A = this chain, B = another copy of it.
Amino acid sequence: MSGWLTASYLVACAERDVAARAAAIASEQSVECPLEAITEQRIRAEIVARVTAIEPAGPGRFRVDVAIAAQTIGANPVQFVNMVFGNASLWDDVQFAGFDLPPEVLALFPGPRHGIAGIRRLLGAPERALTNAAMKPQGLRVPELAAMCRTFALAGVDIVKDDHGIDDQHYSPFAERVRACQAAIAEAVAATGKPALYAPNLIGTPRVLRERARIAREAGVRAVLIAPMLVGLPAFFDLVEEFPDFVYLAHPSFGGARQIAPELLFGRLLRLFGCDAVIFVNVGGRFGYTHATCAALAAGARAPWGVLRPTLPVPAGGMRLERIEELLDFYGPDTMLLIGGNLLIDHARVLERTREFVDRVLAHRFAAGAPARG
């Protein structure tokens, strides 16, 4: 543990201030005290973080690289987050924009246990783009949810997930719902011969997550939906370690990404902590991400990165049937499309609309310029 990792920040300030802001970040993310209070040469040489680069990054913005001693992280994945963006998260003018880990720090993180290849194996779909639908709205009772699950699977959807607001409410209790939906999807799979996964939503304190994971496992569930920022990255990390057989599909809830660059949080940090597939809010939906952010996010999720498996990008957040071809050309085949409420707007035609969703994905021919596979 004698190496250094690099953390990068976007800092909004005047040029004359940037050196001081960079030095302040380096202090805050390591010793967090005035340098004159440090009398030991060892600590100055080995522990204090160092500014290694300052570069312009647009008007009034600078990219600052800081080298942080791997020793300060030790073997603790949570301490990694503390050291790269603990106190600095409290500054309005600082955004956490990237990091580069030496092998001994990267080795703390097994990352996705299945990743893109594992998901494709479970679904028997080695090449094509994948499909995902959400059971909505919360408030529906268990038989209605199970029926919706069956409908989506009969239409050929690959993964049917709970909406992220569905928890353990009296109208759809967790254990009863999971058993009913898992049975419904098994029934549909038996009827069509096409594999499909039901992904129940896990939400609660670590103790509750563990109980529900056991219930889901016993019911035969192979994939789960979870919001890592909501349940906490550390609790998520423990859960993946204890239940490595699940495919983990990450929901962005509570992931407010103004101070962590969205492509970093959803494309890289969640992969590091073990998400197999990551839902993010797509450009042109209900949220404000740009094309550039979405492209960088998907690229980060799939790019070669040590021994970490690639994570499957899942653009979502107000997607509509009309956009399928555009989305596929933009994201390429290593993508799972998630369409939520748009499948449900005509209550009498949910099966037909879902079939149209699936068929358009299956029929798509990728343009020569589509992103390569992860």
B-contacting residues, A305-356, CB 8 Å: 317, 340-342, 344-345, 347
CB contact between A31 and one of B38, B138, B281 (< 8 Å): that residue = B138
**Contact, CB under 8 Å: B32 / A164:** yes
Asked whether A52 is an interface residue with its Cβ less than 8 Å from the other chain, the reply is no
Asked whether A168 is an interface residue with its Cβ less than 8 Å from the other chain, the reply is yes
5 other A-B residue contacts (CB within 8 Å) besides A37-B347, A90-B317: A31-B138, A47-B139, A76-B203, A82-B164, A230-B234
CB contact between A138 and one of B47, B237, B258 (< 8 Å): that residue = B47
- CB contacts (< 8 Å) of A263 on chain B: these are none
**Contact, CB under 8 Å: A71 / B37:** no
Q: Write the A15-56 contact mask toward B (1 if CB under 8 angstroms, else 0).
A: 000000000100010111110111110110011100000000
- Interface-lining segment among A97-105, A182-190, A215-223, A247-255: A247-255
- Interface-lining segment among A110-118, A120-128, A205-213, A366-374: A205-213
**Contact, CB under 8 Å: B340 / A32:** yes
Known contacts A71-B171, A258-B92; is-contact A165 B86 (Cβ 8 Å): yes
**Contact, CB under 8 Å: A167 / B79:** yes
- Inter-chain CA distance A342–B43, complex, in Å, is 18
Asked whether A85 is an interface residue with its Cβ less than 8 Å from the other chain, the reply is yes
**Contact, CB under 8 Å: A234 / B255:** no
- CB contacts (< 8 Å) of A235 on chain B: these are 205-206, 232, 234-235
Q: Which residue of B lies closest to A233 (CB)?
A: B232
Q: Which residue of B lies closest to A230 (CB)?
A: B82
Q: Write the A156-170 contact mask toward B (1 if CB under 8 angstroms, else 0).
A: 000000011101111
- CB contacts (< 8 Å) of A209 on chain B: these are 234
- CB contacts (< 8 Å) of A143 on chain B: these are none
Q: State the copy count for this chain.
A: 2
**Contact, CB under 8 Å: A205 / B252:** no
- Inter-chain CA distance A82–B42, complex, in Å, is 45
- Inter-chain CA distance A209–B81, complex, in Å, is 15
**9 A-B residue contacts at CB 8 Å?**
A32-B340, A48-B137, A74-B169, A78-B230, A79-B203, A82-B165, A87-B253, A89-B256, A92-B258
**Contact, CB under 8 Å: B165 / A37:** no
- CB contacts (< 8 Å) of A341 on chain B: these are 32-34, 37
- CB contacts (< 8 Å) of A14 on chain B: these are none
Asked whether A286 is an interface residue with its Cβ less than 8 Å from the other chain, the reply is yes
Q: Write the A168-203 contact mask toward B (1 if CB under 8 angstroms, else 0).
A: 111100000000000000000000000000000001
B-contacting residues, A262-286, CB 8 Å: 281, 286
Asked whether A107 is an interface residue with its Cβ less than 8 Å from the other chain, the reply is no
Known contacts A232-B232, A259-B258; is-contact A72 B204 (Cβ 8 Å): no
- CB contacts (< 8 Å) of A256 on chain B: these are 85, 89-90, 258-260
- CB contacts (< 8 Å) of A257 on chain B: these are 90
CB contact between A203 and one of B36, B82, B137 (< 8 Å): that residue = B82
- Inter-chain CA distance A85–B256, complex, in Å, is 9
The 3 closest A-B pairs by CB, nearest first: A232-B232, A33-B341, A89-B256
**Contact, CB under 8 Å: A43 / B90:** no
Asked whether A231 is an interface residue with its Cβ less than 8 Å from the other chain, the reply is yes
Known contacts A38-B137, A139-B40, A347-B37; is-contact A83 B165 (Cβ 8 Å): yes
Q: How far is the CB of A227 from chain B (nearest CB, A)?
A: 7
- CB contacts (< 8 Å) of A43 on chain B: these are 137, 139-140
Q: Which residue of B lies closest to A96 (CB)?
A: B256
